Amino acid sequence: MASDTRALILESVRKYDREVAGRQEFIPGVTPVQPSGATLVEEDRVALVEAALDMRIAAGVASRKFERKFARALGLRKAHMTNSGSSANLLALSSLMSPQLGDRRLRPGDEVITVAAGFPTTINPILQTGMTPVFVDVELGTYNTTPERVREAIGPRTRAIMIAHALGNPYEVEEIAQLADEHDLFLIEDNCDAVGSTYKNKLTGSFGDFATVSFYPAHHITTGEGGCVLTDNLVLARIVESMRDWGRDCWCEPGEDDTCHKRFAYQLGDLPPRYDHKYTFSHVGYNLKATDLQAALGLSQLSRLDEFGAARRRNWQRLRDGLESVPGLVLPVATPGSDPSWFGFAITIAPDAPYERYELLRFLEDRKIGTRLLFAGNITRHPGYLDQKFRVVGDLSNSDIITERTFWIGVYPGLTTEMIDYVAASIREFVAARG
């Protein structure tokens, strides 16, 4: 019978996982110490195969279930899964341009405050929608901007704030949300690196109009590729769903018809009466949906979110303790009042250090220790942005320092205590050898 065959297949998958996924011995200098990566177990492999056996190849039941459970995990009412975190950012900002928002809608030429030292996918949607980024600087140590800098950047055309929590470290988001409220601005929290982080005992992602999340393998949980837009606002949630799903006005699930029992009862736009609601489009939208295969993996991963966060905090603290007394390094600090679920461990080399960042990175990479720069550094210096229209408020001196002297190393759950200690010892050895 099919059920017996299915059980046999899944048991074989479990057996296969145990055969190939055993714990490997860590050999310093030979075993790669990656800066990030997915932490996958037997249940993840089984979840993917089970979804494949059901031929759940498009968005469907598993996607809706994951959206409900993920929204609850972050304390929000609605989540809409997307095909990437980058798409989530584009979708969130584009949705704020909906005519359904009336006079509050964003328009081309409006300004959006963000930071220069970030990842391009926080900034690109501002340019892609015809709006103007307003760049502010960040602090060294936290690598986040401040409410004071944001306040100074608010001008007559400012309509929104879109900032990421840097490497999982929350910015002062309650205060920035208050600024947004005072000035009638939308706030989008790019929460891609910070799922599970808290500020003033409240989860990041729950302060703004929108939160965006990435499920790329580097992030806190993974669906392979994938992302999500979350909100407490049901009007915004409905717009996001429409914009994600081709811009359609209908809200039937895939494969469903006439959920509203009015499929042929509408007259919208300049369409004839009784035009099929399933093919009525209220937005110029996209197709940014994910699949049930991805959602099945997400559901398996979501059960371990707290475990993953604890491992990230533990690894970060062990690195911090191991590098505490090393001269010439600016070590990361948590924003006061926060409890970060760290994405990475940032290090800035002091200006008087007798070596360059490049030398330390080559030393670490030669020891199989993976490193990454703090994303774009000062993004206004990149070739793709030199001719773009933007505004800068204040100087970007710390963003320039990040461009020239900052990098980060991993703390993700796949790293063992031996690996973390090896990384710290390697940095200590390098610095000691250079006086």
Annotated active-site positions, please? 219
Measured CA to CA, the distance from residue 257 to residue 342 in angstroms comes to 44
Contact (Cβ atoms closer than 8 angstroms) between residue 212 and residue 191: yes
- Tell which residue, 192, 286, 240, has the closest CA to residue 92: 240
The distance of Cα 334 from the centroid of its chain, to the nearest Å, equals: 18
Position 234, amino acid: L
For residue 307, give the 3-state DSSP assignment: helix
Measured CA to CA, the distance from residue 433 to residue 413 in angstroms comes to 30
Contact (Cβ atoms closer than 8 angstroms) between residue 65 and residue 260: no
- Tell which residue, 241, 271, 270, has the closest CA to residue 253: 241
Give the helix ranges, DSSP H, for 336-390: 357-366
Provide the residue count of the chain: 435
Helix axes 120-128, 85-95, angle to 10 degrees: 40
Measured CA to CA, the distance from residue 88 to residue 83 in angstroms comes to 8
> What separation in angstroms does the CA of 41 have from each of 15, 19, 51, 249?
12, 12, 16, 40
Measured CA to CA, the distance from residue 214 to residue 301 in angstroms comes to 13
Tokens of 394: 């204040």
Measured CA to CA, the distance from residue 74 to residue 133 in angstroms comes to 28
For residue 408, give the 3-state DSSP assignment: strand
DSSP string, 257-302: --TTS-TT----TTPPTT--GGG-B-S---B----HHHHHHHHHHH
Contact (Cβ atoms closer than 8 angstroms) between residue 276 and residue 264: yes
Contact (Cβ atoms closer than 8 angstroms) between residue 58 and residue 253: no
Torsion of CA 301, 410, 173, 226, to 10 degrees: -40
Q: Which helix or strand (DSSP H or E) is residue 161 part of?
A: strand 158-164
Measured CA to CA, the distance from residue 198 to residue 324 in angstroms comes to 24
